Amino acid sequence: MILTDAEILVEIDRGTIVIQPYRLDCLGSNSYDVHLAAALATYTSPVLDAREHNEIEHFSIPEEGFVLRPDMLYLGVTEEYTETHKHVPFLEGKSSVGRLGIDIHATAGKGDVGFCNTWTLEISVKQPVRVYAGMPIGQLIYFVVKGDCINPYATKSSAKYNTRTVKPVESMMFKNYDETAGRWK
C-alpha cells in the first residue's frame, strides 16, 4: 500500500517521515518531489573493480547548468535529507526527467526502513542533456510495511551509507568482500 499525500503529512507530523527542507508545493497526490543538488561526481578510473574502493571526483553544477554525456556514469545527490522510520521509501524518476532521457538510478530505487540520509543518484543519459542544480529530479513514494522492523538500516552494523552527507557517495561494494575468507558477504 502506498501512502497518499494526506498520509505522508500525518507521518511527517508523527516524525516517522522526515524531509529537510520540506516544501508543501513538492507534495504530490502520493509522492514527494526531490531535487538535484549542485554536487556531482564521476569515477576517476575508466575501469571499476567491485573488490576495490573506486575513487570519485566531486564537482559542482555551475549556474549555467552542466551537460551530462551518454558515455559517463554520474553520481548525483538530492537536496533533501530524509528519514523513514516506519515505511519503505522508493525513489523514482519524474516522468519529465525520463522524457529527457535521464535515468536517476540503475538498481538502487528502494530504501530501507530506518534509512536516514540524502539519496545518491546513479545518473545516466541517452543523449547529451543539460541539467541544473535545484531542478526536480525524482519523487519519493512511501510503502506501508507489515510488522515491526527488527533491524532498521540506521542501526545495522553492516550499513555502508549511514554517514550524513550532502555529496554523492561512491559504491561501497568492496566492503562486502571478505579478503580473509576469499568470499563475498
Active site residues: 122
* Interior angle at CA 163, CA 161 and CA 164, nearest 5: 110
Distance CA(11)–CA(91), nearest Å, equals 18
Per-residue buried b or exposed e for 89-114, using 16+ beta carbons within 10 Å of the residue's own CB: bbbebbeebeeeebebbeeebebbbb
Residues whose CB falls within 8 Å of the CB of residue 160, separated by 6 or more in sequence, listed in order: 172, 175
- Closest by CA to 78, choosing from 26, 131, 154, 134, is 134
* Residue 156 three-state SS: coil
Measured CA to CA in angstroms, residue 31 lies from 35, 74, 79, 100 at distances of 13, 25, 16, 21
DSSP 179: T
Cell numbers representing residue 4 in the block: 497518499
